[in-house]
C-alpha cells in the first residue's frame, strides 16, 4: 500500500518502520526529525500525501492535527483515507472528519495505547472511531503496527475512549503516589506497601504494572530514573482533553479536573517536564500537607 506518514517522532518513527518492514511504500514528513531507514522523505505534508491510499498522522496535539489536515486533505486522492493516530480529543476528530468529507476523503480517529515500547514492538492497541467499513479496511495496518484494534463507534469515539482511559491512569497515578508518600511518612516499608496493595482493593495498573516506586514491582520507568515512558507533559494534555470533553457534554469530573491541576503544577511550575508521569512520586515525597 502507498502510505503517507506525517509526524515521525517517538511514536511515528517505529510505526513507519514497521509498515516498511511489512512491505508498504511509506513516504514520511516531519518538520524536525529525519526519516528512519526505508521511509522516503517528503519535504512537505502535501508532497507526502501525493498518490497515497492512506495518510497516517502521529502528531503532538489537536492544533497540529487540524493544521496538517487542512493542508494535506485537499491534496489527497478522492476516496483515500486520513488515519489520525494522535491523541487529539473528540472535537478535533469531528473537525477533521468534516474537512475530509468536504474533499471526498475518508477519515478515522485511531489513537493508540502501548507507548513507545508498544510502537517499537508492534504491540499497540488502536481504538477506532469512524465507519465500520473503514475500520475493517485498516485491519492489515492495525496488525502491522499493533496487536489489537477495537472498533469504538462513529467519528470521535476512538478519541473518547482514549481520553477516558488516560483520565483513569492519570488520576490513579496521583492517588497512588500520594498514598505511597503517606505510607512513607507513616513509617511503612515500600515493599510491604506493594505486596499488600497490589493484591488488595487498592490494586491498579499503576501500582501493579507501572509501579512508581523504584526497585519494586515489574520493570518500569521508575527503575530508569523516571525516563519516559509516557511524559507528565503528555498526561496533562490528555487530562485537559478529558476536561474539555467533560465540559462539552456536561459531565461531572472532579477527580479528572484535580489530577489535571496537579500535573499542570508539577510540569509548569515545578520540575516535572520531560520526566515520566510516574515521577509524580518525587513531587509527593518532597511535600508536606501545607
Ligand atoms: P513526538 O513529539 O515525539 O512526535 C511528534 C512529531 O510530530 C515530532 O517529530 C514533530 O516534529 C512532528 N510534527 C509536529 N508538527 C508537525 C507538522 N505540522 N508537520 C509535520 N510534523 C510535525 O510525540 P509522540 O510521543 O510520537 O506522540 C505522538 C502522538 O501520540 C501524540 O498525540 C501523543 O499524545 C500520542 N501518544 C504518545 C504516546 C507516548 O508514549 N509517547 C503514547 C500514546 C499516544
Select from 259, 182, 241, 178 the least CA-distant residue to 212. Answer: 178
Site residues for ligand 1, CB cut-off 6 Å: 6-12, 29-33, 45, 58-60, 64, 67-68, 86-87, 112-113, 115-116, 230, 234
pLDDT confidence of residue 261: 98
pLDDT confidence of residue 115: 87
The closest residue, in CA terms, to atom 30 on ligand 1 is 86
What domains appear along the chain, each with residue ranges and CATH number? 2-154 (3.40.50.720), 160-286 (1.10.1040.10)
Select from 78, 109, 86, 74 the least CA-distant residue to 8. Answer: 86
C-alpha cell at 141: 495496518
Q: Which whole-number Å values give the CA distances from 98 to 105, 130, 183, 211, 212, in the listed order?
A: 10, 12, 51, 41, 41
pLDDT confidence of residue 265: 97
Query: Which residue numbers in the chain have pLDDT < 70?
Result: none
pLDDT confidence of residue 289: 84
pLDDT confidence of residue 168: 98
C-alpha cell at 255: 477527580
Alpha helices (runs of H) in the chain, residue ranges in sequence order: 12-21, 45-48, 62-72, 90-102, 115-121, 132-137, 139-145, 157-185, 190-197, 205-209, 232-249, 254-264, 280-286
Measured distance CA(81)–CA(172) in Å, rounded: 36
**Structural contact between residues 269 and 204, judged by C-beta atoms closer than 8 angstroms:** no
Measured distance CA(196)–CA(262) in Å, rounded: 26
Looking from the CA of residue 86, the nearest atom of ligand 1 is 32
Measured distance CA(239)–CA(91) in Å, rounded: 15
At residue 27, φ and ψ (nearest 5 deg) are -115, 125
Distance 126 CA to ligand 1 centre (A): 16
Looking from the CA of residue 71, the nearest atom of ligand 1 is 18
Task: Give the active site residues.
Answer: 162
Residues β-bridged to residue 82: 55, 107
Burial class from Cβ neighbours inside 10 Å (0-12, 13-18, 19+) for residue 200 reads exposed
Distance 198 CA to ligand 1 centre (A): 33
pTM of the model: 0.94
pLDDT confidence of residue 290: 75
Distance 255 CA to ligand 1 centre (A): 27
**Structural contact between residues 166 and 141, judged by C-beta atoms closer than 8 angstroms:** no
Measured distance CA(178)–CA(64) in Å, rounded: 34
Q: In sequence order, what DSSP letters do the residues of 79-124 get, joined into one string?
A: T-EEEE-S---HHHHHHHHHHHHHTT-EEEE--EESHHHHHHHT-E
The closest residue, in CA terms, to atom 12 on ligand 1 is 7
The CA-based diameter of the chain, rounded to the nearest angstrom, is: 65
Distance 181 CA to ligand 1 centre (A): 32
Amino acid at each position: 500500500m502507498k502510505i503517507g506518514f506525517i509526524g515521525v517522532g517517538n511514536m511515528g518513527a517505529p510505526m513507519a518502520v514497521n509498515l516498511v518492514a511489512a512491505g508498504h511504500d511509506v513516504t514520511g514528513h516531519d518538520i524536525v526529525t529525519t526519516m528512519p531507514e526505508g521511509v522516503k522523505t517528503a519535504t512537505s505534508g502535501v508532497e507526502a500525501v501525493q498518490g497515497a491510499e492512506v495518510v497516517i498522522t502521529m502528531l503532538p496535539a489537536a492544533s497540529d492535527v487540524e493544521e496538517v489536515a487542512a493542508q494535506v486533505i485537499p491534496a489527497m486522492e478522492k476516496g483515500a483515507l486520513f488515519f489520525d493516530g494522535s491523541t487529539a480529543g473528540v472535537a478535533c476528530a469531528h473537525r477533521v472528519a468534516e474537512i475530509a468529507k468536504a474533499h471526498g476523503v475518508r477519515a478515522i480517529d485511531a489513537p493508540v495505547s502501548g507507548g513507545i515500547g508498544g510502537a517499537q514492538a508492534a504491540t499497540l492497541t488502536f481504538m477506532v472511531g469512524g465507519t465500520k467499513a473503514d475500520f475493517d479496511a485498516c485491519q492489515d495496518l492495525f496488525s502491522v503496527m499493533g496487536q489489537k484494534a477495537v472498533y469504538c463507534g462513529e467519528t470521535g469515539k476512538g478519541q473518547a475512549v482514549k481520553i477516558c482511559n488516560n483520565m483513569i491512569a492519570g488520576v490513579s497515578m496521583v492517588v497512588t503516589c500520594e498514598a505511597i508518600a503517606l505510607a512513607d511518612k507513616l513509617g511503612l516499608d515500600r515493599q510491604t506497601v506493594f505486596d499488600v496493595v497490589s493484591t488488595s482493593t487498592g490494586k491498579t495498573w499503576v501500582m501493579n504494572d507501572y509501579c512508581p516506586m523504584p526497585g519494586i514491582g515489574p520493570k518500569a520507568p521508575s527503575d530508569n530514573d523516571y525516563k519516559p515512558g509516557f511524559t507528565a507533559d503528555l498526561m496533562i494534555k490528555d487530562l485537559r482533553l478529558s476536561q474539555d470533553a467533560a465540559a462539552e457534554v456536561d459531565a461531572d469530573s472532579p477527580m479528572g479536573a484535580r489530577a489535571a491541576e496537579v500535573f499542570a503544577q508539577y510540569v509548569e511550575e515545578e520540575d516535572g517536564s520531560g520526566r515520566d508521569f510516574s515521577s509524580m512520586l518525587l513531587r509527593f515525597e518532597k511535600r508536606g500537607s501545607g
